[in-house]
Amino acid sequence: MAWRHLLAILALRTVVQGFVVPQAPNRRGAVSPLLRGRPGLVLRRVSQIPPPTTRPPKPPPRIGSPSPSERGGPEEATNSAAPSTISEATVWPRPGREWDVAKVGDSLLVNGDPLLSGLPPTVKVTALPGGPSSAIGKGVTPTGVMLGVDFSDLDLEAAGSIAVERHQHDVVLGHLKSNRILASARIKRWWMAPCWPVQAAEVPIETQFLLCGLAGGGYALFLPLVSGSFRSTLYGTAGRNLSLPRTRAEAARVMGGFRSKADLLSLRVESGDCQVRQARVGMALYVASGPDPYELVRAAFKEAGRALGTFAVREDKPVPPMLRKFGWCTWDAFYSNVEPTGVLQGLKALQDGGVPARFLILDDGWQSVGPPGAIDGPPAADETTTAAAETASGAGSSGGGGGGGGSSAAAGKAASSSVVGVGEEVKAEEAEEVVNLSGTTLTGDTAVVAKLSSEPPVVALVKETVAKLYSKYVEQAPPDSLGVTVWRFLSRRTWVRLALLDFFTSFTDFSKRLTSFRANQKFERGEGASFKDFVSSIKEDYGLSLVYCWHALPGYWGGVSLDSEEVAEACEPFHHKPEPTPFVSEMEPSILWDPSSLGGVGAVKTDKAYDMYRNMHSYLHESGVDGVKVDAQSGLGAMGGGGMGGGPAVVRKFTESLERSVSESFGPEHCINCMCHSTENLFSYKKTAMARVSDDFYPKDPASQTWHVAAVACNTLFMGEIAHPDWDMFHSRHPAAGMHAAARAVGGCAVYTSDAPGRHDLDLLRRLTFPDGTVPVASGPGRPTEDALFVDPTRGNRAFKVFNKNSFEGVLGGGEKWGGGVVAAFNLQGSAWDRRRRLYAFLEDTLEGLEHALEDAKLKIEELEGSLEERAEEVASKAKGAVKDAAGKAAEVVKTALDKAADDALSTLEAVTHGQLEESLEIAGSRASPSPARASAADAADAALAGAVGREAGAMAAAEALGAAPLAQAGQAGQAGQAGATEVVKAAKRCARGVVTPADVWGKDWAAKLRHGGQGQGQGQGGGAAKVAAWCGEAGELRVLAEGEGVRVELGRREFEIVSMTPVQRLKTSKSGGALKAEQREQEVEWAPLGLKTMMNAGGAILSATASSSAAASNHGEPSSSAAAGPGDKASGKARAEVVSMGPGTFLAYASASPAAVRVEVLTSGNDPDSMVPVKTGKAREAAFEHDARTGALTVGLGAVGHHRITIEW
């Protein structure tokens, strides 16, 4: 009965709210369904009601004092470059340019073709301040215009009750004339991810970047901006009523009277603070167009950065030194249980394995923190062994439910996750200990497990019941559902609030606050055992070049302590409750009942942010730390509500303070920005040079594994223009390890793992890093190939391709510098982020396909069992004489083995089918964390069948040893049937197909570019077809590709291929002698260096490559390269190539003819520019080589760790 009363109250409250209370627009519109369509009712939203003549009193204390523009004054932003007036404009004159964007009537045109139609009068189109930058682009330059919103001249009588000066504006931009769309939108407060809408109406809320293909060719980019105190985002209009009145006059004047919503694109412009209002925002959206998507994005970000003046682009920032070093992070190994002993064990295990870490990220767990009210840092924690920490931290599955999960966030490691938020540390000793939820995504089921043993049974039962109801009705429910509405009320107005706060305080880190700027007592133990001593010792003992420490942008997850004298003196903290914007709350409803929303945080005034960072960073610098990883950044935007000046203003001031302090203590290249995917943060990075580009690598969430690769690559397309991308850590011993290692190899990012000590795949790591801890990294950010931009890689059967370049200095004739290219193709089919349920999930068709395949496999194994038993009995009955006893024993061995194999396989498949994954993995002899059962069916079946085959092989060997050859033959006959069953299971794995071509790296006109002069000696004169040498690392094949050719790949689930490519150069040799014919005196050799075949990114090891033909055979007197032939070569007419490569490894090149000689000279000891030592050996030595005349593969062994000069002569 109480529940019925509660629901009745809530329903009545909802009706009343429809009249007077502001509500975020939901999926069915902002107007209550009970009132929609009733005549005579005038419904107002607060955002539509004119502001009062007097503003509310300023709330004490403020985070900072907003500028006049932040208070809603007439000034636009803080950018002097912004236009003082908004006037309709056509794009600036661009003589000789074929790409133009201009407004004509109510349409935005690209080269005369409509991109947007139906632009309302409230959208103003202007040129960029100062016109386009003359320094951008070559050839055809992308062009763009600025879109702003202006309600200042709105007819108030026609608009009815609309308030022209508001904190939030929603505008329908018009009909988007494209159905090839790539949008990057936030999926959690911390992270964004790609999606591929088929029409504009499907563009999700909080879309921050949008690229679309044009029907007439070329591309258009929509870049929502952060200008002054206002932030803009895009979203589709279908099914959503905007917060604008629906009078006919306004529809005609403001919105254009749209009827169809299928292709409508809308813009939201908001400050995040109801007291920061404006009628005009001059720079809300930048729209640009061009023929090349990568040049378009690069130029657009550069122009936007110049116009806003709030951020700088990557190419203007220093290169982080960690990019060429291998590293290790403590997070997934220990979560917040990290302690010195575990760190030492982790570094030692890598060093002993021959893959030493050269940088360390000491993640969450080193700081002095405590719950609200704590004065000093936490008491000294007992040393926890590595195994204990690993066991405790692995209690749950880190994954994506509700808003977080996994690393840097087991739910974002952020204050929110699903039922309750996210996980942290609690000890794990015996019966009386608390469950450790660090690194765990919290769900209702997780909360059931994490309960205090001292709780009375009745209390525990009530909490368990509430948690289960949460899992069923709230966790994955739509944000406007009754379950979410009821839970929000319960979590704020009833005893549930106190229960949640108690849970967060007892089991998680997210209520904790920073109590000291010094390390906690695990790391700071006094004289002789200080944090400085610890850092110094690990650098000296394990050869670390860099040590970074983690901290959160607000200090810690719950901010800073209000009671610590040390913190209070520096920060002047105060209590504050964040106010997320409506779209953020809709995107991640659990943010409304996380610990920061329920209990508030310890906030720092903006004018004290620098003091907080200075105290923290100066301590770290004095301790020998080289840089920081700064987490929890995009949660700071919610701190701008409640009269604090708005999210953009607050975030910008904190980021400025952070960058100032980082630059003073470490340098801007020594900061990793993380959990930072709001444009409030991204468009504030003026100095710092590195940023995480995706949600975490979640080792315990199988549905997230393939999606992670798509997310990092697609987000890098945009974020990679602001900072060097960080693709996150990964586990080297993991079912998806190879795929993630391949992604890092081509990503142009830092390569680092988070393995638990001793749990490494050393062979895999040796394909990524050299024995001295250096990495052959690609030259730029890895991005999707052009033909993969608008294709959802999780569906269909297309391989997802990521490309990069290895820009070693190579002169290939005509003065063109080409270097090499690398393309990785992945099978990412089957799982994705589910925006409706807010978690990583397997696609339904994938699960159905696995079920059918498993049924087929089950039948096959049953048939196999019967046939093998009959065969064994038949052979046993024929055994006579001296071998009778032996044959009988052998038959028993075989039959027992086969029975066990069949039982194991059938039990495994049955267990998987019924969701008993733990049992199936135990039968198969494997150990793994629980995960969606059907999703891992193929793996479990493979394991069982592999075990069966192995046991059968052992039985046959035993039979042969006993002299029962006929019985061994029987087992071999049955093995064929077993192989058939294995193939059935393999067929259940999704197959992705694709073609890797040179166009993936150098564009569709790559062949014409080479013919024009890039391939050297005679190629520009029509001397032959353009060619590229391609090395397929996983297949171990060398191919030579002509125009129109490519490498076809066919990949199973989680499989990949990496193709390294280099343009082929033609060299000419000559021989002296009057008796020789002309064709004998002059010969042609084709040549292309490819790199180290032992590394995943083979070409990344090449530092330079030059070649020259003989002086006598030089074509038209073309200049030779730096490897020009010496005086002695002129007479002999030798052609020569010279390559400088990192080592050790097997150097691979394509050569159409076997060389006359190969010489190798070791130049340095070590590959790291920071520590390598020149080696003086006098001259190069003759080296052994192998040449395959059929494929042209030329290989040379490089044995030393360091740079090698390889000289090849024909």
pLDDT tens digit string along 289-300?
999 999 999 999
The two tokens of residue 420 are 């309750």
Q: What is the per-residue pLDDT across 254-270, written as a single tens digit (0 to 9) for each?
A: 444 455 577 899 999 99
Determine if the peptide bond prior to 1144 is cis (ω within 30°). yes
* Coil, helix or strand at residue 223: strand
pLDDT given at position 966: 46
Q: What is the per-residue pLDDT across 1161-1197, written as a single tens digit (0 to 9) for each?
A: 999 999 998 888 998 876 789 999 999 999 999 999 9
25-39, 90-104, 526-540, 899-913: range with lowest mean pLDDT:
25-39
pLDDT value at 1069 more than 70: yes
65-74, 719-728, 817-826, 1026-1035: range with lowest mean pLDDT:
65-74
Q: How many CA atoms lie within 13 A of 436 on its CB side?
A: 22
pLDDT given at position 216: 85
> Is 801 within 8 Å of 788 (Cβ atoms)?
yes
Instruction: Name the nearest CA neighbour of 754 among 1046, 197, 330, 267.
Output: 330
pLDDT band at 83 (very low <50, low <70, confident <90, very high): very low
What whole-number distance in Å separates Cα of residue 657 and Cα of residue 68? Answer: 21
What whole-number distance in Å separates Cα of residue 1158 and Cα of residue 1209? Answer: 7
What whole-number distance in Å separates Cα of residue 542 and Cα of residue 1055? Answer: 34
Instruction: Name the nearest CA neighbour of 1049 among 733, 827, 808, 750.
Output: 827
Instruction: Name the nearest CA neighbour of 609 among 581, 630, 584.
Output: 630
pLDDT value at 427 more than 50: no
Q: Of 850 and 95, which is predicted with more confidence?
A: 850
pLDDT given at position 457: 73
Around Cβ 15, how many Cβ atoms within 10 Å?
Answer: 12
What whole-number distance in Å separates Cα of residue 482 and Cα of residue 484? Answer: 6
pLDDT value at 274 more than 60: yes
Around Cβ 239, how many Cβ atoms within 10 Å?
Answer: 12
Q: What is the per-residue pLDDT across 34-67, written as a single tens digit (0 to 9) for each?
A: 222 322 222 222 232 233 333 334 343 433 333 4
406-420, 515-529, 591-605: range with lowest mean pLDDT:
406-420
Q: What is the per-residue pLDDT across 1101-1155, written as a single tens digit (0 to 9) for each?
A: 999 998 888 654 443 333 333 333 343 344 457 899 999 999 999 999 999 999 9
What whole-number distance in Å separates Cα of residue 979 and Cα of residue 102? Answer: 64
> Is 231 within 8 Å of 270 (Cβ atoms)?
yes
Q: What is the DSSP string of 743-759?
A: HHHHTTS-EEE-PPTT-
What whole-number distance in Å separates Cα of residue 743 and Cα of residue 778? Answer: 11
User: Dihedral sign, CA of 924, 927, 933, 936?
Assistant: negative
pLDDT value at 180 more than 90: yes
pLDDT value at 1156 more than 60: yes
Average pLDDT for residues 139-154, to the nearest whole number?
A: 78
Bridge partners for 487 per DSSP:
none
Amino acid, single-letter form, for residue 105: G
For 731-756, letters b (16+ CB in 10 Å) and e give bbbbbbbbbbbbbbbbbbbbbbbbbb
Q: How far is CA 461 from CA 593, 777, 855, 1035, 1129, in A?
A: 21, 54, 40, 57, 89
Residues of the chain with pLDDT > 70, as a percent, come to 64
Longest dimension (CA), the chain: 112
> Is 769 within 8 Å of 752 (Cβ atoms)?
no
pLDDT value at 346 more than 90: yes
What whole-number distance in Å separates Cα of residue 1087 and Cα of residue 1067? Answer: 7
Q: Of 46 and 1035, which is predicted with more confidence?
A: 1035
Q: What is the DSSP string of 998-1011?
A: THHHH-TTHHHHII
Given phi > 0 = left and psi -120 to 50 = alpha, else beta, which region is 257? Answer: left
* Coil, helix or strand at residue 845: helix
Average predicted confidence (pLDDT) for the chain: 75
pLDDT value at 866 more than 80: no
What whole-number distance in Å separates Cα of residue 1060 and Cα of residue 963? Answer: 52
pLDDT given at position 961: 45
Bridge partners for 843 per DSSP:
none
pLDDT given at position 1123: 36
The two tokens of residue 1196 are 């040379």
What whole-number distance in Å separates Cα of residue 1049 and Cα of residue 1057? Answer: 7
89-93, 361-365, 822-826: range with lowest mean pLDDT:
89-93
Q: What is the per-residue pLDDT across 651-682, written as a single tens digit (0 to 9) for each?
A: 999 999 999 999 999 999 999 999 999 999 99
Residue 1205 phi/psi, 5° resolution? Answer: -100, 120
Q: What is the DSSP string of 443-468?
A: -HHHHHHS--TTS-HHHHHHHHHHHH
Q: What is the pTM of this model?
A: 0.78
pLDDT band at 229 (very low <50, low <70, confident <90, very high): very high
pLDDT band at 997 (very low <50, low <70, confident <90, very high): very high
Bridge partners for 1069 per DSSP:
1083
The two tokens of residue 360 are 């360390």
Place of tokens 């029509």: 1022
Around Cβ 1161, how many Cβ atoms within 10 Å?
Answer: 17
Q: What is the per-residue pLDDT across 628-658, written as a single tens digit (0 to 9) for each?
A: 999 999 999 999 988 889 999 999 999 999 9
> Is 421 within 8 Å of 407 (Cβ atoms)?
no
Q: Of 476 and 754, which is predicted with more confidence?
A: 754
Instruction: Name the nearest CA neighbour of 403 among 602, 641, 559, 632.
Output: 632
pLDDT value at 244 more than 60: no
The two tokens of residue 640 are 């701008």
Given phi > 0 = left and psi -120 to 50 = alpha, else beta, which region is 988? Answer: alpha
User: How far apart, in Å, do the first and last CA atoms of the chain sit?
Assistant: 93
pLDDT given at position 686: 97
Instruction: Name the nearest CA neighbour of 1162 among 1198, 1121, 1119, 1110.
Output: 1198
pLDDT given at position 1011: 77
Rounded to the nearest 5 degrees, what angle is found at the Cα of 416, between the Cα atoms of 412 and 420?
A: 130
**Which of 100-109, 188-197, 864-873 is the most confident on average?**
188-197
Q: What is the per-residue pLDDT across 438-468, written as a single tens digit (0 to 9) for each?
A: 555 656 555 555 554 556 777 777 777 877 8
pLDDT band at 405 (very low <50, low <70, confident <90, very high): very low
What whole-number distance in Å separates Cα of residue 868 and Cα of residue 252? Answer: 79
Instruction: Name the nearest CA neighbour of 645 among 600, 607, 593.
Output: 607
Instruction: Name the nearest CA neighbour of 449 among 439, 432, 436.
Output: 436
Q: At what angle do helices 884-913 and 937-961 cross, to 10 degrees?
A: 180
Q: In Å, how far from its chain's centre is CA 1034?
A: 23
Q: What is the per-residue pLDDT across 409-418, written as a single tens digit (0 to 9) for each?
A: 333 333 232 2
> Is 647 within 8 Å of 273 (Cβ atoms)?
yes
Place of tokens 């975490």: 696
Average pLDDT for residues 543-569, to the nearest whole number?
A: 95
pLDDT value at 583 more than 90: yes
**Which of 83-87, 162-166, 825-829, 866-870 is the most confident on average?**
825-829
Contacts of 1085 (CB under 8 A, 6+ apart): 1066, 1067, 1068, 1069, 1135, 1151, 1152, 1153, 1210
